[in-house]
Amino acid sequence: MSDPSASGWGSTRKTGPGAAASPKLLLRRLRQALAAPGDGQERLNQIVTLIAQSMAAEVCSVYLMRGQDTLQLSATEGLKSEAVHEARLKIGEGLVGVIARDGRPVVTAKAREHPEFRYLPETGEERYSSFLGVPIQKLGRTLGVLVVQNERPMSYTEEESEALALVAMVIAEMAEAGTLIPRASDDDSSEDREPVHIQGQGAADGVAIGPAYLHEPKLLLPNPIAEDPLHERTRLREALTRLQTDIDAMLDDDQMDATSEHREVLETYRLFANDRGWVRKLEEFIVSGLTAEAAVDAARTEARLKLRTATDPYLRQRFDDMDDIAQRLMRRLILPNDDDRAMPQDGAILVARALGPGEMMDYPRGTLSGVVLEDGAIGSHAAIVARAMEIPLIVQAKGALRGVETGDSMIVNGDQGHVHIRPREDVISAYEEKISLRAQEKASFAALRALPCRSLDACEVKLYINGGLAADLPSLDESGAEGVGLLRTELHFMLNKTMPTREDQSRFYSHILDKAGDRIVNFRTLDIGSDKVLPYMKQPRENNPALGWRAIRVGLDRPVVLRMQLQALLRAASGRPLRIMFPMVAALAEFEKARGMLLEEVERLDMAAPPTDLKIGAMLETPSLAFAQKRFFELADFISIGGNDLAQFFFAADRTNERTAGRYEVTHPAFLSLIRMIVERCDEAGTELSFCGEAAGRPLDALALAAMGIRAFSMRPASVGPVKRALLAADLTAMRIVAEEAEEARKRVRDALIEHCMESLIPI
């Protein structure tokens, strides 16, 4: 145990009057100061004075965020008073800016020698050497920075750093509740309610206008400092008991499917609610002087800081579970009688830090018109569900939660990643016009549904949709597609907390076949790895996961999982046609081995009739497979070109990397030559061929690929109409001639095709 005399708490470091106080005593003094009359500025002034006295510090300062990237000196004890509200730093500028940027404490005995030091002459801080600063944070959102300084070079202890962080957490709660933010200066007066534009990453296309709805409603703590720790501990225990009872009741509900993902989520919540280590951490915060709800908030904030740099998807998934149960517990503590949380009004835009597995599906279809996430990824669970539900989604919208309130008007542009909070009327009008044009365009596509997809030169082209959820199937009728060209079976695995059983998989696949009716469904076997990770299956760390242990490689190396899936697919077919394809096959030997496993399972099949017509195919996603032996093309019943990966590997260019995205071009002559070769080899062997990928859903790219001989495409449901309209208006023979002539003349093929489409009135 550390010696108290080594810390500012109880030490003789302070040179002025006043006895040094313990952290608990400081919190009590803060409570008294906050209860006293006065405005936010007066409270802040009292807080910095109390902290300076308690920590025997010559300087204590609070910097608060002003706007999205500026920190303002808002109160100080020890620095020049005239610098208050005048001294400012940008995020990342100086030691204070670095703390705000990184969300981590900075401690140094020689601040002026620190490489990030920035001198502000108006503050008079040049004579202070020792520096300890901690972020003022609320659930990962930086509200400001709390700093103590001393003139003499010295090392602050770990106890002092932890104590200051505890006080910063209390300040964050007060700031969030609006009781500490000082009155803004004239240039800041309307800043918080002004229109805000955020650039994120579009993860699901579309445009939406609607009222904001916070997935995690802002729960303002009445007072984070406890009067009676024993009473707070009792409140915590009672809230935990009520929460556990609620979870048990939901699990015992007769309508709860024993295999549903909702049940698995609740089982996880029950484990967290009963976790002794977590409860012990909450009680430690209460002993330190916090209320029960503040203790829960402090624990989740601490966990968020520890895991903010974690790259392990499993750890991040566990944190999402803990974060959600903490939110539920806080709601029990702050609003004990508020049992039913109202759903948002129809057309709302959901705003959240992140969404865990299945959470989007808790909102009834039609309730949400858009989703904005501060975290998240293009390949996340939320993005998968949003695309299936045709809801525009933006991820990595940093700062979206800052200042937004439920009911604020919002615009989401999933095509370009734009988020507008409280937009001006002219911006709303522009987007309303865009939405209206889209609606008119969609109505025109509906008129094309019943028409055969035949080009002007009589080339028949089949259009299919990509899917992965039961929610995708209604799009078959809505789009007029001829079937499901790619059924991503891994989505069913990704949206479950545990490995789906063979019976669970079989029910899901059978449901898909039932909904599809007589239309074809190409089931792709489990394609995990790279950016698709199962929360319950540990994935090895790889320097280049896109080229690593993924897709069919995982299936062949872990045959138990692949065989179980093949058995489930065969049982689901039960006397119906079945089409199965293997992902990312790179060589004939891999396809032969996987195909052999499937045929073995057919021979072993019991308790179900075999498929009436079994077709076995492969995804051609690697250049090596395009040059495979002739036997591969003869052995495969059908081949689907996985355009995203094939182009990525062909050009050695990551399509998600801004620096290399320009090198990733489907209409490049070299890539079109590769496509022509694959078409010729499939024609020679009499093998079905289709193209699946982002390019399939872009009219110009689809026309170029069709001109090279592709006669089947699989795409997002929303793309079927635009692609079909373009194909109906095009002469594919003429387009091939345009591409070949442009290549011979060393002109950019894409530009030549665009010019031809404009001249021929082909809508692209």
Of 85, 215, 381, 756, which residue is the catalytic one? Answer: 381
Catalytic residue among 453, 692, 756, 757: 692
Over residues 712-741, mean pLDDT:
95
Residue 263's pLDDT band (boundaries 50, 70, 90)? Answer: low
Q: Is position 85 within any domain?
A: yes
**Per-residue pLDDT tens digits for 71-123:** 999 999 999 999 999 999 999 999 999 999 888 899 999 998 888 888 888 89
Q: Which has more pLDDT, 313 or 462?
A: 462
Element (H, E) at 201: strand 201-204
752 CB-near residues (< 8 Å, 6+ apart):
738, 739, 741, 742
Rounded Cα distance, 687 and 633, in Å: 7
* Average pLDDT of the residues in 434-440: 86
722 close to 715: Cβ distance less than 8 angstroms: no
* pLDDT-based confidence at residue 260 (cuts at 50, 70, 90): very low
> What pLDDT shows up at residue 707?
97
The per-residue pLDDT for 643 is 94
Higher pLDDT, 429 or 69: 429
For residue range 645-670, what is the model confidence (pLDDT) as tens digits?
A: 999 999 998 876 767 767 888 999 99
Query: Please, are residues 585 and 618 in contact by the beta-carbon 8 Å criterion?
Result: yes
514 part of a folded domain: yes
pLDDT of residue 182: 47
Same domain, 520 and 375: no
For 133-188, the pLDDT digits (tens) are 999 987 667 889 999 999 999 888 888 888 888 888 888 877 766 666 544 443 44
The answer as to whether 165 is a domain residue is yes
Based on the domain organization, do 169 and 251 belong to the same domain? no
Residue 740 has pLDDT above 70, yes or no: yes
CATH code at position 160: 3.30.450.40
Residue 330: name the closest of 294, 286, 277, 289 by CA. 294
Percentage of residues in the chain with pLDDT exceeding 70? 82
pLDDT classification of 285: cutoffs 50, 70, 90: confident
- The domain in which residue 654 lies consists of 459-730
In this prediction, residues 390-408 reach a mean pLDDT of: 87
Give a yes or no: residue 454 inside a domain: no
Write out pLDDT tens, residues 286-299. 887 888 888 888 88
Is residue 744 very low, low, confident or very high in pLDDT (cuts 50, 70, 90)?
very high
Claim to verify: residue 128 and residue 263 sit in the same structural domain: no
pLDDT classification of 17: cutoffs 50, 70, 90: very low
Query: Do residues 707 and 603 both lie within one domain?
Result: yes
Taking the CA atoms of 95, 96, 99 and 105 in sequence, report the sign of the dihedral they define: positive
The one-character DSSP state at 223 is -
- The answer to whether position 705 is within a domain reads yes
Are residues 633 and 527 both part of a single domain? yes
- What CATH code is carried by the domain that includes residue 360? 3.50.30.10
Looking at per-residue pLDDT, the higher value among 276 and 394 belongs to: 394
**Model confidence at 22, in pLDDT bands (50, 70, 90)?**
low
CATH label of the domain that carries residue 640: 3.20.20.60
> Do 618 and 705 share a structural domain?
yes
Same domain, 9 and 158: yes
State pLDDT tens for residues 585-612.
999 999 999 999 999 999 988 766 889 9
Q: Is 692 a residue of the active site? A: yes
Kindly tell me if the per-residue pLDDT of 759 is higher than 80.
Answer: yes
On whether residue 134 sits in a domain, the answer given is yes
Q: What letters, b where the CB count within 10 A reaches 16 and e where it falls short, cover 172-200?
A: bbbbbeeebbbebeeeeeeeeeeebebeb
If one compares 476 and 524, the residue with the highest pLDDT of the two is 524
177 and 133 inside one domain = yes
For the segment 343-367, the average pLDDT, to the nearest whole number, is 80
Decide which of 93 and 323 is more confident: 93
With cut-offs at 50, 70 and 90, classify the pLDDT of residue 318. low
Show which of 334, 369, 398 is a domain's final residue.
334
Q: In the block, which residue shows the tokens 């695995």?
A: 493
Residue 688 to residue 169: CA distance in whole angstroms: 62
Quick check: 386 pLDDT over 90? Answer: no
Task: Based on the residue annotation, tell me whether 453 is a catalytic residue of this protein.
Answer: no
In a domain, 753, yes or no: no
- Shared domain for 498 and 411, answered yes or no, is no
pLDDT confidence of 256, banded at 50, 70, 90? very low
Cα–Cα distance measured from residue 645 to residue 313, given in angstroms and rounded to the nearest whole number: 22
**503 and 377 in a common domain:** no
**For 517-546, what is each residue's pLDDT tens digit?**
999 999 999 998 766 667 667 667 777 777
334, 365, 396 - which closes a domain: 334
Listed in sequence order, the residues at least 6 apart from 596 whose beta carbon sits closer than 8 Å to its beta carbon are none
Residue type, 722: P
Q: Is residue 549, in this structure, part of any structural domain at all?
A: yes
**DSSP per-residue string spanning 357-398:** TTSGGGSPTTSEEEEEESS--TTSHHHHHHHHHT--EEE--T
Is there a single domain that holds both residue 75 and residue 208? Answer: no
Least confident of 218-227, 232-241, 434-443, 466-475: 218-227
Are the beta carbons of 423 and 195 closer than 8 angstroms?
yes
Highest mean pLDDT (candidates 17-21, 183-187, 343-347, 499-503): 499-503
Q: Give percent of the chain with pLDDT exceeding 90.
A: 44
Q: How far apart are CA 42 and CA 75, in angstroms?
A: 9
3-state SS of 714-747? Answer: EECHHHHHHHHHHHHCCCHHHHHHHHHHHHHCCC
pTM of the model: 0.64
Report pLDDT for 535.
Answer: 64
d(CA 520, CA 485): 8
Residue 183: its pLDDT value, please? 40
State residue 307's pLDDT score: 61
Mean pLDDT of 359-380: 80
Predicted local confidence at residue 565, as pLDDT: 96
Domain count, the chain: 4
Segment 4-21 mean pLDDT: 40
What is the phi/psi pair of residue 622, to 5°? -120, 140
Mean of all residue pLDDT scores within the chain: 83
Is 546 in the same domain as 617? Answer: yes
Mean pLDDT throughout 371-396? 81
Amino acid 339: pLDDT? 52
Domain boundary among 334, 367, 387: 334
